[in-house]
Structure 1
């Protein structure tokens, strides 16, 4: 009797942590797209905003790691991990998404962040990281259909920019690749608190080098306090977002991790509508409903798998 009770408590604890990380990290993802839209509106370039925000987040997480005595490991394997993960998951993906926001809207970018689940799930099945489970598959398909319906409406809008819609859609593809890579190449005996600042420092270095080798500027307008305030807010959001991302990666796996975008869509779209004054995307109710169903099914499927194991 006691053993059965302990097992049940263990299962609940095992999935409580990733579920809380999913909700909190997803909320920060949704907030991030809205902060980016406002920051660009007040004069920051997408590259400058991303570079300084990532740099600030790296400093915050490094200080936390220093206090907890979990400094990022420095060896060939970890350095490869930092730079590849930074390029795919942070620098390239976020730069594409932030650059597309002025052209397609923060609401649309928040919504397409729900696309990585299917790509991640397919990759995880092919690489045998995940076993096929019908409930999780249905959840991923539901989320994809919801996001797909919203994308179709966006393409059919008379003022839509096909180029920027396609650029924005490249972001979720890179995020899905990053989800798989970080799972496969996670350095041995490394904690999430140590890897997160290492990846962000690598991302800041890559963005800085990109700025030096191109005509894109990372200068910050200093006429008023708003640009610096936006950078400070986004640095805190990024710090929380990537710390939770790595913790969720370790405890919930790549497919549950990929649902951060789906939760971010549910949080981010209402913010763009009610606080930023964007028009609601067509098909919002159907899309958001299917995305929410997808999150529930994938999470529930994960609980079932944990109980079977």
Structure 2
């Protein structure tokens, strides 16, 4: 465990694998009748509670200073509430595998935002990687989800907003990371903040009334909470040691897991153009990664 905690590549793989389980589990839950708002709450409340328990058991605590509270709630909205709502709304229409492909755009968009916000200086290879990634995204968007059930352009657009939100979260968490804050503290605090925001949403929309549906899928709930809790421990550790752009590459691993689970376990089928687009996106990610290594 100590070796994994110190390995940036190991953290990347484990975090990506755990993240990749989210779209398939989310599809099963939404098809069972759990609204996106409720399933997003399950993730944040479950993960936040378990992470807080682990933090307290180790003698830690969550700081409630102004800087940390700002971080908790802004990270909660940008990084968790919005992406999860988008994901779980789109996955029944686009498929778990197709939605997972959207994760692969996160590194490209994170680099683009880093350049636009002055976090990084642009270089030729990085800009070329961004362009290649967008070409792949365009091809994937044209196929509109599963081959047998093409989704409307509206749901494709919702799917494309997922990596935009993830990229914004990657940048925000880096530039506003509170001093003397550990990864587990930040993970617990931001998820509990997200749970509070989502609970308000459940009460306002009336979706809280369908809470009993969770009792019909207890194993799915348990699997989602366990995977999310573990994932965010590694997620924040990777953020602190790898930076926002390296962190964003978990989308590449997550997409592979989502595609595998969607095709093998959920019976999803995608056109050849979707697979070609995914490979082109992967090429764009490889280019942006190499560009950042060259900068380093």
Normalised by the length of structure 1, the TM-score is 0.85
CA distance in 1, matches of 2:218, 2:22: 15
Q: What SS does structure 2 have at the residue aligned with 1:43?
A: coil
Cα root mean square deviation, aligned: 2.7
TM-superposed CA distance for 1:264, in Å, is: 1.0
Q: Does 1:265 align with 2:255?
A: yes
Q: What SS does structure 2 have at the residue aligned with 1:188?
A: coil
Q: What SS does structure 1 have at the residue aligned with 2:151?
A: coil
TM-superposed CA distance for 1:279, in Å, is: 1.0
Question: Which of 209, 216, 225 pairs up with 1:235?
Answer: 225
- Structure 1 partner of 2:50: 60
Structure 1 pair 99–217 and aligned structure 2 pair: CA distance change class (3 A): farther
Gap runs ≥5 in structure 1: 1-12
- Structure 2 partner of 1:7: none
The structure that has the greater radius of gyration is 1
CA distance in 1, matches of 2:210, 2:185: 29
Structure 1 pair 189–16 and aligned structure 2 pair: CA distance change class (3 A): closer
CA distance in 2, matches of 1:53, 1:115: 23
Contact kept? 1:82, 1:199, Cα under 8 Å: yes
CA distance in 2, matches of 1:165, 1:218: 29
CA distance in 1, matches of 2:252, 2:24: 15
Normalised by the length of structure 2, the TM-score is 0.88
Map 1:34-183; keep pairs closer than 5 Å: 34-154=24-144, 159-183=150-174
CA distance in 1, matches of 2:146, 2:91: 18
Contact kept? 1:33, 1:268, Cα under 8 Å: yes
Contact kept? 2:108, 2:129, Cα under 8 Å: no
- Structure 1 partner of 2:185: 194
CA distance in 2, matches of 1:74, 1:225: 34
CA distance in 1, matches of 2:51, 2:284: 31
Contact kept? 2:90, 2:158, Cα under 8 Å: yes
TM-superposed CA distance for 1:55, in Å, is: 0.8
Structure 1 pair 147–28 and aligned structure 2 pair: CA distance change class (3 A): farther
TM-superposed CA distance for 1:169, in Å, is: 1.9
- Structure 2 partner of 1:249: 239
TM-superposed CA distance for 1:99, in Å, is: 1.1
CA distance in 1, matches of 2:83, 2:209: 17
Measured against aligned partners, the alpha-carbon deviations of 1:115-163 in whole angstroms (never above 9, x if no partner) come to 2222211221122222334444444444443333211222897842122
- Structure 2 partner of 1:289: 279
Structure 1 pair 120–228 and aligned structure 2 pair: CA distance change class (3 A): same
- Structure 2 partner of 1:205: 196
- Structure 2 partner of 1:9: none
Contact kept? 2:94, 2:150, Cα under 8 Å: no
Structure 1 pair 218–191 and aligned structure 2 pair: CA distance change class (3 A): farther
